[in-house]
Amino acid sequence: MAYIRNIILKPIFLSLTLFFACSSSQAVHLDWSGQFWFDNHWLNNYQLNRSKPGYDADPDYYNTGGPYVPGAGEKNVIWFSAFMKLKPKVVVNDSIILKSEWHVGSPIYGFMGRDFPNSGGEQYNFTGSQKNGAAITAARFWANLITDFGTIEIGRAPIHWGLGAIWNSGDNLYDRYQSSGDMVRLVAKFGSITVSPAIVKVSMGNSVAGALDTSSATTSFPSVVNPKEGNDDVTDYQIAAKYENTEEDFDFGMMWDRRVGNKAQSGLLLSPTGSGSKKLNFNLFDFYVKKKLSRFTLGLEIPFYTGVVGGIDGSANDFKYSSLAVIVEASYTSDQWDIALKGGRVPGQPVTNASGQNVTTIDTGTKYRAIYLHKNYGLGLIMFKYNLYGLGANNPDTQSASSLRSPYDNPIVNANYVSLSPTFKLDKWAFHATFLGAWAMESVPNEAGKVFYNHHRRTFHTVATNSGSQSSFMGWEMDYGVAFKWDDNFVADWEVGLFFPGKYYNFANRSWPNHELGSTNFMFASQIRAGITF
């Protein structure tokens, strides 16, 4: 294993080693780690209705805003992906450490079989097999400066907090998403207390000087755009304080994050479309506690949002953001058993009750309550993982950034959930299962003219006349799997799952008698993975 790693990875780091060796007379130490994984996904009946063909995409059902899942061409889908993450670290001296993370390919769009041979005449050869190389991306790169008053971190660095429900560094094997920021952060320890203030630049916008209207190019000056008042930067100001008592296995802390973005920002962070106010000015207070009692571990995370966000409804309205989520974890571990219990309350956006309701006339001052947990925070195989609405437009070579869709983008939102996951361990083998149920916190009432929020597409829609009420039961699933751990570096597993959608997915938001989509059917999924860590 070590020999194979050296053959593959030594050339990648050779130039980096030579650079530091030649640029300084001092000796430097190069260390590295990383991971490689391959997986296969098979989704059967992802439309949740076996009577509909895979090319069914009814615009009437889609435009009304209900949970209708349109087809993408195939009734059942299957795909493969591969990804490698490299994490070289250079120890310059006792006080300076340079860290980085490089991605070979993409953890989200690294589909095997992408890019049919297209180099020169090879693309016209029906037996052609030449493939383009995968891009290598510097996903993170930062410096740790160790001082007498703490460690200063400068650069694009990871962010992680608590149970990983809001901020998740994505360092585990098979993690596809990660929290990172361009920052200056101080990590200072005072006995059992760690304090970490930081300034994080999320977005600079499209101009160093301020904001630009990219749609205002003129015929005489096609490359010139008009400036707008303000700027379109987005910045986070953070302070995290954590108390750790290793003797009693007890952790407690709170992270405060203030996100500020001018209304002229060019990118929307909460809505894919819209041209109105895009202001961001809200606070996140994320409380976290964890306690271990012998073989039992209890964890709790409570994120609380307050402030203002704009542009959600595609108009000039600012929404008051006020919401709170509760995430609970409990686990038991022994020589042969690992049992995990998860439960939570994650708010959705309630139906709006302003006068003269329609999609574009939501009153200023409307509250926004939806909270989206981090996409790495998973519960089961299907329900809060696969984006059934994003199984088309997945190729970054043929799709623009605004139309690109991830098949894994289905975060936890608008849900009360509970899951139980027992695992039985036998030497190198492990047999596991998950039982999961979820209920929507906000569902659509039979009240024509009101406005509801589609949490998957992040769009507002008007309740139709005689549409009937939407059930709150989202469904339940059961997953079963087996994992084989060859050694400390290699693991392979196979998991299958059945998702039984609830009446929540029958709602069509159309007048009677077309007020329901018809009967929903169970969905089957299979996932086969193999991963190497080094």
User: What is the DSSP secondary-structure string of 397-433?
Assistant: TTS-TTT---TT-----SEEEEEEEEEEEETTEEEEE
Task: Report if pTM > 0.85.
Answer: yes
Cβ atoms < 10 Å from Cβ of 363: 12
**Domain positions in the chain:** 2-208+231-533
Each of the 534 residues of the chain gets a pLDDT tens digit; together they read: 444 444 444 444 444 444 444 444 456 788 989 999 999 999 999 999 988 888 988 888 888 999 999 999 999 999 999 999 999 999 999 999 999 999 999 999 999 988 777 666 777 777 777 888 888 999 999 999 999 999 999 999 999 999 999 999 999 999 999 999 999 999 999 999 999 999 999 888 778 888 877 665 555 555 556 777 788 889 999 999 999 999 899 999 999 999 998 877 766 565 555 555 678 899 999 999 999 999 999 999 999 999 998 877 766 678 899 999 999 999 999 999 999 999 999 999 998 765 433 334 444 447 889 999 999 998 999 999 999 998 988 988 888 877 889 999 999 999 999 999 999 999 999 999 999 999 999 999 999 988 899 999 888 888 999 999 999 999 999 999 999 999 999 999 999 999 999 999 999 999 888 788 878 899 999 999 999 999
| φ, ψ for residue 401, nearest 5 deg | -60, -35
- DSSP E strands in 429-489: the ranges are 429-439, 451-454, 459-462, 473-485
Geometric angle at alpha carbon 377, from 373 and 381, rounded to 5°:
120
**Is the preceding omega at residue 396 within 30 degrees of 0, hence cis?**
no
CA distances from 117 to 111, 127, 396, 413 (A): 15, 10, 16, 40
Rounded Cα distance between 508 and 383, Å, is 20
Give yes or no for a contact between 397 and 378, defined as CB atoms under 8 angstroms apart: no
405-422 residues labelled b (16+ CB within 10 A) or e (exposed): bbbbbbbbbbbbbbbebe
pLDDT at 27 (0 to 100): 64
The CATH number fitting domain 2-208+231-533, selected from 1.10.8.60, 2.40.160.100, 3.30.70.380, 2.60.40.3080 = 2.40.160.100
> H-helix or E-strand containing 379?
none
Query: Per the structure block, which two tokens stand in for 259?
Result: 């996100």
* Residue listed under structure tokens 């041979």: 117
Rounded Cα distance between 95 and 97, Å, is 7
Nearest to 348 by CA among 267, 448, 456, 477: 456
